[in-house]
Chain A
Amino acid sequence: MMTRRHIAALGVALWFGILALTPLLADNYTIRIAITIAMYSAMALSWNFIGGFAGYPSFSTAAFFGIGCYVGAIAQRSGVPLVVAWALATVFVTVFAVALGAIILRLKGHYFAIGSIAIVEVVRLVVSSWGGLTGGGDGLNVPLLSGGPDRVATTVLYVMLAIMLAAFVVTILVDRARLGFGLRCISQNEDAADMVGIDTTRYKIAAYALSALFCGTVGAVYASWVGYIDPTDSFSILLSVKVPVMVLLGGAGTVLGPIIGAGAFVMLEEFFWANFLEWNRAILGGIIVFLIFFLPSGILKLDYRRLFRRKSPVDRTEAA
């Protein structure tokens, strides 16, 4: 008999399969949605390390993504080959996060949240003022990926899926390892965790670095995909909000939550946008409020047995 674990694993495999098969089944627009899902899933999985496991409300996703965009773009413009440029962006963003984390992770709770938002703004201002290197407000042209539109879409999809898969595998590893345990302890009570011998500072820095790493890669790949980046779009504060909402929607601190949340969010957004052109933002906002009120710990923690209990015969007789 299949255990619950098998079913979950099968579900994830199936989901990856569906996303990976879109180039065979659908047009480029649908592939674009699949790319967006993979991209946000990777970022949601990343955020989960710091926001979910460690319980630190970080809003610096946009900073990591944006730096990834710029490092990738600048590297490519100076003649670095594509894949090396992506790797370079990943390494740079990770190092940046470690250095930054060592400072900013001394803050806790609300203070940390505000500090992490400030990072996005500061990095955006630096990038937009450093005109000589980044083109400032003019933005940067990134060499277009070669090949026709179909090939580009397929390539980007598989790269994004690979990043998502890598982020997922790392999530599983962290979840099982001492690191995951330690981060959960920090989330519950940091002082107590410290007392029982968890090196909280180092653990938090590791989680913060993990939350940056994949965002850096995603940013660099995104830059190559769109072919043009500017500070406003690369460091959009909306991105910093969207990603945590996705994780909360799915279930923070769980392994599957970020993937479910990102997939559901992107499709909801797409659905409301396509059908309610005028009101889509308001509807989406309403849904987010609804979810936060009624699903505080995400879709994964929804108690389906309780939902269906009313229909059981016992309940019916009680009601009658």
Chain B
Amino acid sequence: MFGKPRKSAVLTAAAIALASAATLSAASAPAWAQDVLRIGAPLALTGGLADEGKKQESVWQLWLDKINAAGGIKVGGKTMKVEIIKYDYQTDGKRAGQLAEKLITDDKVDVLMAPFGSGHTKIIAAVTERYQVPLLACVASSESVYDQSFKYLFGTLAPNSGMTDAMAALYKQKLPTLKKIAIYGRDDVFPKSMATSMATSAKAAGIEVAYNELYAVGTMDHSAAISAIKAAGADWIYMTGYTQDLILGRKQLNDLGVKAPIITMVTGPAYKEFTDGLGDLADGVTSSTWWHHATAYTGAAGVWPSTEAFYKDFTTAFKSDPDYVHASCAAAADVLVNAVQKAGSTDKAKVRDALEATDMLTFYGPIKFGPNHMNLGRDMPIIQVQGKDIKVLYPASIANAEMKLIK
């Protein structure tokens, strides 16, 4: 059976050599210093979620430059440097878990930041919980991520159920003849939960749910579903998904001649790529979002004292508008530093306790973790694309335009 053994022997030797080489390279951890706060970040820099991953990367760099320009952070009387160690997990869940483990055991990070998306956040949360390392999730909004009562996981986005109630009420008020809604959601953690919670909210607001289906991840053609939506005769089309799905969906709605006075795409218009990709077709599309730069908070703790200061720095650096991913992630970094300062050290258990007690105002908004460790809900903005601009329709305190119906 061992067919040509001499070759196998050479091969075994080669394999062992390779194995030891791999072990050696893995063991060479970076120099360890005491007065450094080490933040680990597995990011999706390539693969399906690369756009979002790069956003996190760039905003944290902006944040870090700001911190380091100030010489570091003050913790218990001394100054600490901050380091962010990031790896690309290639939008691959298996690798995300592996990297979280590498960051903890190999790079000896003090805390971790979760990547974009509820699913991958969950995979990493299982690792950090095991190692008892605090994990801050800045772009995971589904309550199902936080339902295992993990002690070390904290999220800066608010639960998304609050978003749909306000939206149904607002639209009903702006368009009193609103009768039927068609809901079409991507079968993935966040988009799915938005679709299901919209169905509940719509029914509660007295709107008939004429169509309610989910589409599989990776669907490249929505025409069958859109034909059914057309037949349902809805006057509000509500689609959830990620930017690429929504661009495709909007184009196909147009191609198949579906018209409705209200088209909502969650969270399409929150991203610049959406409006860039659709051009005129984006006009009139509404969405809810967790944050918009029109929300003006002042007197905030952290690197930026106000939303305006953040907006100014961001636009200078990147020549484009920040979205909620940028804001929530930068704020998460602020929350983290705040917790380390409160704890007086980078001791993981103490930082965790300090995180749990967080109650602060950042440029992104107030942060206070609820019983499930998600940021407590507040009024989240509803936005609309009007011409080339994104206007805020809700809440009234920051609204800067009236809702327009699509003709």
Contacts and interface: CB of A to CB of B under 8 A. Distances in A.
Interface in B101-115: 101-102, 104-106
Q: Is the interface of A mostly helix, strand, loop or mixed?
A: helix
B184 to A, nearest CB: 14
B22 A267 contact: yes
B126 A267 contact: no
A227 B126 contact: yes
A96 to B, nearest CB: 21
Given A32-B101, A144-B130, A232-B93, A4 B189 contact: no
Interface stretch (A5-13, A78-86, A210-218, A310-318): A5-13
A28 B189 contact: no
B67 to A, nearest CB: 23
B9 A8 contact: yes
A149 interface: yes
Contact of B12 (A11, A125, A144, A228): A11
A18 B16 contact: yes
Interface in A258-292: 260, 263-264, 267, 270-271, 274-275, 277, 281
Given A138-B142, A232-B217, A226 B8 contact: no
B25 A274 contact: yes
A111 to B, nearest CB: 24
B87 interface: yes
A29 interface: yes
Contact of A137 (B6, B105, B214): B214
A29 B102 contact: yes
Contacts of A29: 26, 98, 101-102, 105-106
A14 to B, nearest CB: 7
Contacts of A271: 21-22, 25
A138 B144 contact: yes
Interface stretch (A42-50, A188-196, A296-304): A296-304
B18 A304 contact: no
A26 B13 CA distance: 20
B272 interface: no
A186 B45 CA distance: 45
B204 interface: no
A300 B27 CA distance: 30
A256 to B, nearest CB: 6
Given A8-B5, A128-B216, A129-B187, A136 B192 contact: yes
Contacts of A231: 217
A230 B119 contact: yes
Contacts of B19: 18, 263, 267
B122 interface: yes
Contacts of A232: 93, 119, 188, 217
Specify the main secondary structure of chain B where it touches its partner: helix
Contacts of A4: 2, 4-6, 8-9
Interface in A136-156: 136-139, 141, 144, 148-149, 152
Contacts of B16: 14-15, 18
Interface in A118-135: 124-125, 128-129
B1 A172 contact: yes
A263 B45 CA distance: 26
Interface string A27-38: 111101100100
A26 B23 contact: yes
Given A4-B6, A5-B5, A264-B15, A137 B192 contact: yes
B87 A277 contact: yes
A278 B144 CA distance: 33
Contacts of B87: 277
| Interface-central residue, B1, B187, B214, by most chain A CB under 10 Å | B1
A199 interface: no
B15 A300 contact: no
Contacts of A172: 1
Contact of B2 (A141, A226, A255, A275): A255
A106 interface: no
A149 B192 contact: no
19 contacts: A3-B5, A5-B2, A8-B2, A14-B12, A15-B12, A15-B16, A29-B98, A30-B27, A128-B217, A136-B192, A137-B192, A138-B144, A144-B129, A176-B1, A227-B126, A236-B92, A255-B3, A256-B8, A270-B26
Interface of A: 3-12, 14-15, 18, 25-30, 32-33, 36, 124-125, 128-129, 136-139, 141, 144, 148-149, 152, 172, 175-176, 226-228, 230-233, 236, 238, 254-256, 260, 263-264, 267, 270-271, 274-275, 277, 281, 299-302, 304
**A-B complex: 7 closest residue pairs judged by Cβ atoms:** A4-B5, A11-B12, A227-B126, A233-B93, A137-B187, A8-B2, A8-B8
